[in-house]
Structures are given as structure tokens and as C-alpha cells.
Chain A
Amino acid sequence: MRTRPANFLPLLLAAAVLALPLTGGADEAPAPAVAPSAADATLAAVTAGDAPAGALDTEMQALKDEVLDLNQELFLLEEELLFPANTQVAVFVSMDVGEFFALDSVQLRIDDKPVGNYLYTEREVQALLRGGVHRFYLGNLKAGTHELTATFTGKGPHERDYRRGATLKIEKGIGAKFVELRISDRVSKLQPEFVVREWE
């Protein structure tokens, strides 16, 4: 059984939190050999209460940064485990200009099997128009020839419902395969253009 690394996240976060006082303790005075008295405890509480808020904020920020870094590393590890490079296929959607096409959704079929269907919100379309690239699909394919068919739906010129497909045959080798579904404007024909191409 394969364990998803994301399952370890709470455990690792807990470990990080537990480890913090230990690492911070290196610069502190050695722990007393005897249990501190009630008066010592009160003094310690007052001292902790007097600690500058700025220092605590800095420590909290450092901890948050560490957690974010850890999260990112785990995310990458998860992807490496679930989608090893020798079988990995990633499909991205990008958009250029978009004057002749208002994107609504994209459906993707690989070897005639539906693998993805994504409804784009206004905000997501705006992000694409600003140069954003959406990772539409991440999956595994065995080596060999495969056929990708993307169907784009939306509004075409003159606000008409528009639906177009584009197909690409890919040869999956031992390395990861990246495919881009690109929507652009064909100004000469006043029509949108849909291209499926491999990233080198």
C-alpha cells in the first residue's frame, strides 16, 4: 500500500513545534537539577509575560515560514511519488489575447477516456488572460503512443456559443511529458485558435 506523504504533514508539523524549544534552548542557561519552586515559577511567568511582543512575532513568523517551506517540500515529494517522471503527463491551459473567445470550460480525453473537465470562473479567465497558466491535469501514462483530445466551450465571435476540439498524438517516453492547450486569436480570420502542443 502506498502512503500519501501529505498524511505525514500533521505529524511533521507537530514534530517541528516540539523541536522548537529544544533548538531554542541551546543558547539558554542549563536546566536546574532540582524542580523549581513556586516562587521561581511565578518569576518565570512574569519574565515570559515581559518578553517583547516583537521578538515573539519574529519567532512566530519564522515558524510560519518553516511550516510553509515544509509544506512545499511535502507537496513536491507527494507529486514525485504519485506521478513519477517516467509516467508523468501534465496538461496546461493558457490563453493569449482572447478577444474572439470567452472561455467557459475545457474537457480533456486521453485515449478516448475522459480525464478532466474544468469550469472556468471569470476570475480564472482573467488570470489566464494576464499570462497565467493553469495546470489542468496531472496523471500517469505508460510509454507508447497516446491521443489527447481537448474540447473548449465558451462564447465565440458575436457572443455565439462556441465549441471546438483539438487533438494531438503524443509519444510517451521515459521522461515526463508536458502538453499545453493554448487558446489564442487568429486575427486574420477573426476567429479563435486552439492548439495542443508539446513542451520541449
Chain B
Amino acid sequence: MAVALGAVLAAGAATAADLPSAPDFALRSVSGQNLRLSEYRGQPVLLTFWADWCGTCQAQLAELADLGRRYAGQDVAVLAVNIDGADRREAANTTASRLGLTVLRDDAQAVARAYDLGTLPVTLLVDPDGRIRGTWERYRPGTTGELEAELARLMAE
């Protein structure tokens, strides 16, 4: 999907207004705060969905945490949505503290359904207007590089 979306943007056939809106949601973070996606309007958001049982998710999370640190002063938010369920909250807590990420718990997987996830990990770049600029499914070396390049393009606009 990311490749297709990138191609469309490059061809100039789509404007920002044509991009799909990221479904809004509110979730509780592992630190106990309630966070709503729409409250991040005005800044780019990297939204990633992950589960503890997904091995490649951990690699993706580590790279996103690193990316988040590098863009810390530039108003880029990194939100990691954990879909493990209420019985595996400890995993989300551990990852949050280990990587210093904002981890949100989607215990009922309602947000995962709203985003129609077919695989894990899935990472989305949401632009400051709340539109989905790109989606990267699964993890492979280089995914974060592509994501960062798109983020840099977005921030340069």
C-alpha cells in the first residue's frame, strides 16, 4: 500500500485532500494517560500497531524509538498501539519502559479493527491534518528508512 500510495503522490495524481483520514481514537497509555489521536493535529504522527508475540514488531519498535529520539525536538509523535489484550499488559509496560515509547493499549482491539489490520507490524505516517500519508505493512530492513524519507518529505512541505 505504501508503495502504491507513494507512486500516486509522485505522479501528482493525488493531492493531500485525497488521502484517507486516519480514524480517530482514544486509548489509555501504559502510564495511565488517555490519549486521543486528533489531539496530535498539527504535528506528524508515526502510529505503529504491534503485539508481544510478533518478533519483527520488536525490531520495528526499536527503530521507531530511535527515530522518535532523533526527531524529538521537531514535534513528531510516535505512538505504539499494543493489541495483545488485557491479560498481557505486562509486555506493553516492559516495552514502554525499555524503549521509552508512548505505548497505548488497545485491549479490545477496537482500534486495530478500525484500521483494518491484516498483519503485524503495521506503521502509518499520519500528517498534521490527520490524513494517512503512508502505510508500511510488515517489517524488513529498510522499512524505517523509507518511513523516515517520507517523514522528511512531509516536514519539508
Contact = CB atoms under 8 A, between A and B. Distances in A.
A97 interface: no
Interface in A65-119: 104-105, 118-119
A120 B34 CA distance: 7
Contacts of B26: 118-121
A120 B26 CA distance: 8
Nearest to A122: B33
Determine which residue in B34, B35, B39 has the highest number of CB atoms from chain A within 10 A of its CB, and name it.
B34
B112 interface: no
Contacts of B89: none
A105 B108 CA distance: 16
A128 to B, nearest CB: 13
Interface string B37-66: 001000000000000000000000000000
A84 B26 CA distance: 29
B88 interface: no
Contacts of B27: 119
Interface in A46-64: none
Nearest to B35: A121
B69 interface: no
A6 to B, nearest CB: 13
B14 to A, nearest CB: 15
A121 B41 CA distance: 15
Interface size classification for chain B: under 10
Interface in B9-46: 26-28, 33-36, 39
A118 B26 CA distance: 8
A123 B34 CA distance: 10
Nearest to A124: B36
B28 A123 contact: no
A117 B57 CA distance: 30
A124 B39 CA distance: 10
A119 B28 contact: yes
A122 B39 CA distance: 10
Contacts of A123: 36, 39
Contacts of A105: 34
B20 to A, nearest CB: 15
A60 B139 CA distance: 44
A115 to B, nearest CB: 15
Nearest to B108: A117
B131 to A, nearest CB: 16
Contacts of B36: 119, 121, 123-124
A62 B39 CA distance: 28
Contacts of A122: 33-34
Nearest to B17: A10
Nearest to B38: A121
Contact of B39 (A104, A118, A121): A121
A85 B34 CA distance: 34
Nearest to A105: B34
A101 to B, nearest CB: 15
7 contacts: A118-B26, A119-B26, A120-B26, A121-B33, A121-B34, A122-B33, A124-B36
Interface of A: 104-105, 118-124
Interface of B: 26-28, 33-36, 39
Q: Which 4 A-B pairs have the closest CB atoms?
A: A119-B26, A121-B34, A119-B34, A121-B36
